[in-house]
Structure 1
Amino acid sequence: MDRRSFVAALSAAPFVRRLSHAMPINRPGLQLYTVRDAMSEDVSGTLATLADIGCIEVELAGTYGMTATSFRRLLDEFGLRAVSGHTDFAEVRGDWQRTLDDAAELGHEMIVIPWLPEEVRTPDGYRAVADDLNRAGEAARRMGFRFGYHNHEFEFDAMDGVIPMALLLDETEGSLVDWQMDIYWVVDGGHEPLEWLGHYSDRVTSVHIKDRSAKGAMVDVGDGVIDFEKILRAAEAHELRHSFIEHDNPADSLVTVRRSFDYLMQEFAR
Structure 2
Amino acid sequence: MIRHLAIMGIVLITLTLMNICAQKAEKSIGIQLWSVRDDMKKDAAATIKQLGEMGYAFVEAAGYSDGQFYGMSPEKFNKLLSSNGLSFTASHCGHPLPDKEQWEATMQWWDKCIDAHARAGVKYIVQASMDKKGYGSLADLKRYCDYFNAVGEKCNAKGIRFGYHNHDKEFEEVDGMVRYDYMLQNTDPDKVMFQLDLYWIMKGGKEATAYFEQYPKRFELWHVKDEMELGQSGKMNFEPIFKKAALAGMKDIIVEVERYNYPPLESVERSLSFLMEAPYVK
- The TM-score range, normalised by the shorter chain, is 0.7 to 0.9
1:89 to 89, 95, 107: 95
1:116 to 125, 130, 136: 130
Where 1:223 maps in the other structure, the secondary structure is coil
- The Cα shift of 1:237 comes to 4.1
2:249 to 239, 246, 269: 239
Aligned residues: 240
**2:60 aligned with 1:46, yes or no?**
no
- The Cα shift of 1:149 comes to 0.6
Identity of aligned residues (%): 30
Could you tell which deviates more after superposition, 65-74 or 54-63? Answer: 65-74
Matched to 1:105, the amino acid is: R
2:232 alignment counterpart? 223
Structure with bigger gyration radius: 2
Confirm or deny: 8 A CA contact 1:89 1:115 kept in the other structure: no
2:28 alignment counterpart? 27
Matched to 2:61, the amino acid is: L
1:6 alignment counterpart? none
Give me the TM-score of the superposition, normalised by structure 1: 0.84
Question: Residues 1-270 of structure 1 correspond to what in structure 2 (within 5 A)?
Answer: 26-62=27-63, 63-90=69-96, 94=106, 95-122=109-136, 123-211=138-226, 218-224=227-233, 225-250=235-260, 251-268=262-279, 270=282
Q: Deviations over 1:158-214 (max 9, x none)?
A: 111111111111010111100100010000011111111111121010100001xxx
CA distance in structure 2 between the aligned counterparts of 1:89 and 1:180, rounded to whole angstroms: 17
Confirm or deny: 8 A CA contact 2:133 2:141 kept in the other structure: no
CA distance in structure 1 between the aligned counterparts of 2:112 and 2:167, rounded to whole angstroms: 26
Gaps of 5+ in 2: 1-25, 64-68
CA distance in structure 2 between the aligned counterparts of 1:132 and 1:160, rounded to whole angstroms: 21
Q: Relative CO higher for 1 or 2, CA cutoff 8 Å, sep ≥ 6? A: 1
CA distance in structure 1 between the aligned counterparts of 2:247 and 2:267, rounded to whole angstroms: 28
Matched to 1:41, the amino acid is: K
Residue 29 to residue 91, structure 1, CA distance change in 2 (3 Å): farther
1:214 alignment counterpart? none
Residue 248 to residue 187, structure 1, CA distance change in 2 (3 Å): same
Q: Deviations over 1:33-85 (max 9, x none)?
A: 10101111110110110011001111111122222222112112212111111
Residue 230 to residue 186, structure 1, CA distance change in 2 (3 Å): same
CA distance in structure 1 between the aligned counterparts of 2:97 and 2:52, rounded to whole angstroms: 30
RMSD of the TM alignment (CA)?
A: 1.7
